[in-house]
Chains A and B, each alone.
Chain A
């Protein structure tokens, strides 16, 4: 997975709860702290910054030696090239982006729709050999994609799923369901079963009780889980490379990778495509950030 839980947990707001007295040993310390953090940020963010810069430079500035940091002409040509084909019409990259949106979106939706009820069932009911089942489910994630991609390739060829969006959607959903079940089970465990008990005594069926009372309380958890699943599907490279070949099925990661190589590489285009590729997940994570933090820290709150 692209984002580890640690990264998600250590976002700003959680830190702000530390009382100031404990956080800072005095003015000198805070200056040092800020300096170190700035240094770290620059080192970490430099490649991103460079990518953004490259995407808005003209080609001769891109290849300029020494590299130009500030005094270059800003152009949006590369961004236009991302979406519009040289002869007019839609570019292959824009089709790839659309494919990515469809594949990542649908597979995440599928994983969530399947995983959340499963997690609820594992949390609430006495299932035979529950621990073994859960371990088995998790174990399907132990294999790295590169290991399973060849058998899956052969199977897909048999059933005609090779080079199809449906094929990618299914494999991503299959990869995300175990993760969704495990993460969501933690969230469901946190919601007291008494809500459902009370609702059932109030005259609702078990499923109504789940839908009306437990589900609304799970929204932050679902948001957090879905973001992780989405990021996985969005970034996935190995399956996408092996299982698709035509331009109208290929997703963005192999499409962008395909730009590199050959005789010349249009770095401006690569950078612009990368920026466009990075944006949706960032925006999405930003939109659900409240849920993300609430979701990832849910266990810390006493009920």
Chain B
């Protein structure tokens, strides 16, 4: 296993599309690193550049201590799992697994041993003699993972490997991948646009937008203090409420009078926005202590929680996460209260976290 170092990566396709503007990544040995971002932000391109399937326009890629810029994919010693699994349709599972080993020219007994081991790890025993089209989506995915495993590569690259599975299977496979990664101590770069997947899997998450890295951090850091307005609006379901605030008598105040504790070191004379998580707010009876008047617009009942959408003077569609026991009717006048700690504060003009 080895770490991966990406420096000032820039990729422009021949047709002029700039897929990756500027990306720096430093992925540790044995780390499960997730790249998260909306469609078209350059995740796949970055991954393919690391794999050697695309040549970057500028920038350096190191795997372990080796500068791999000019190495073909075959010599980079990494495995990749594709969104569309790319199992060879004319080969049985067994041969699909053995193929990468035959490329290395391993002796037959060794190949058999490794295939058996990977099959055991991914519980593929009964599927070994079937062809890909005779396998379900989840089974194909397991075979694809096993094929990546057999070679014992220096790193694994995964491009949205679970997108084609249904929700339940996806959760299972997520657990499985995480477990496997831990067990093997594998370096893994995992691309997804599903933030739940990113949160639950990643040791660290890189959030990409328009070919740039917006933030790199642990899931907790990324959730608690999104580095930019883009991250703030991207992470969380529903994401943070972005509330315009002003500094007045030692408090952050919204137009409607909601008062938040200001973080230290706020710049003066800037237009500011506070990012407030839905769970840092509370819907109360109207006129409750420290609450401001608001009105329920709608409620999404999700079983284990209710998401209230409320208006409070001038600030529309504030989302509040409440336990399912608290019920307010639509259109009812209510109170809105901040219960969380210090919010993240953003500069409207730079769109970045200021404190």
Measured CB to CB, the residues of A under 8 A from B are 126, 128, 192, 194-195, 197-206, 213, 216-217, 303
Cβ–Cβ < 8 Å partners of A194 in chain B: 82, 84, 86
Q: Does B51 contact A (CB under 8 A)?
A: yes
CA distance A111 to B8 in the complex (A): 46
Assess whether A198 is in contact with B80, with CB atoms less than 8 Å apart.
yes
Complex A-B: 20 CB contacts under 8 Å: A192-B84, A194-B82, A194-B84, A195-B86, A195-B88, A197-B51, A197-B73, A197-B82, A197-B86, A200-B53, A200-B72, A201-B53, A201-B74, A202-B74, A202-B79, A202-B99, A202-B103, A203-B104, A213-B88, A217-B89
Q: Tell me which of A198, A200, A202, A206 contacts B82 (CB under 8 A).
A: A198
Most B CB within 10 A of own CB, among A194, A198, A200 = A198
In the complex, what's the smallest C-beta–C-beta distance from B279 to chain A, in angstroms? 41
In the complex, what's the smallest C-beta–C-beta distance from A189 to chain B, in angstroms? 15
Q: Does B253 contact A (CB under 8 A)?
A: no
Q: Tell me which of A126, A192, A199 contacts B13 (CB under 8 A).
A: A126
CA distance A34 to B355 in the complex (A): 82
Q: Tell me which of A192, A197, A203, A217 contacts B80 (CB under 8 A).
A: A197
Cβ–Cβ < 8 Å partners of A128 in chain B: 14
Q: Does B108 contact A (CB under 8 A)?
A: no
CA distance A168 to B333 in the complex (A): 90
A-B contact count (CB 8 A): 60
Q: Does B286 contact A (CB under 8 A)?
A: no
CA distance A206 to B73 in the complex (A): 9
Query: What 1/0 flags go to B76-116 for Cβ under 8 Å of A?
Result: 10111010101011100000000110011000000000000
> Known contacts being A126-B13, A126-B14, is A200 close to B74, with CB within 8 Å?
yes
Q: Does B43 contact A (CB under 8 A)?
A: no
For chain B, the count of residues having a C-beta within 8 Å of the partner chain is: 26
In the complex, what's the smallest C-beta–C-beta distance from A135 to chain B, in angstroms? 17
Majority DSSP secondary structure for residues of A touching B: helix
In the complex, what's the smallest C-beta–C-beta distance from A69 to chain B, in angstroms? 51
Assess whether B73 is in contact with A201, with CB atoms less than 8 Å apart.
yes
CA distance A192 to B89 in the complex (A): 11
Q: Does B312 contact A (CB under 8 A)?
A: no
Most A CB within 10 A of own CB, among B48, B53, B73, B100 = B73
Assess whether A202 is in contact with B151, with CB atoms less than 8 Å apart.
yes
Assess whether B88 is in contact with A205, with CB atoms less than 8 Å apart.
no
Q: Tell me which of A198, A203, A206 contacts B86 (CB under 8 A).
A: A198
Q: Tell me which of A126, A195, A201, A204 contacts B51 (CB under 8 A).
A: A201
Cβ–Cβ < 8 Å partners of B73 in chain A: 197, 200-201
CA distance A201 to B77 in the complex (A): 7
In the complex, what's the smallest C-beta–C-beta distance from B109 to chain A, in angstroms? 19
Which partner residue on chain B sits nearest A126 by CB separation?
A: B14
Cβ–Cβ < 8 Å partners of B88 in chain A: 195, 198-199, 213
In the complex, what's the smallest C-beta–C-beta distance from B135 to chain A, in angstroms? 15
Cβ–Cβ < 8 Å partners of A200 in chain B: 52-53, 72-74
Assess whether A197 is in contact with B53, with CB atoms less than 8 Å apart.
yes
Interchain residue pairs A-B with the least CB separation, the first 7: A203-B103, A202-B100, A194-B86, A126-B14, A198-B86, A200-B73, A203-B74
Assess whether A205 is in contact with B74, with CB atoms less than 8 Å apart.
yes
Most B CB within 10 A of own CB, among A128, A203, A204, A213 = A203
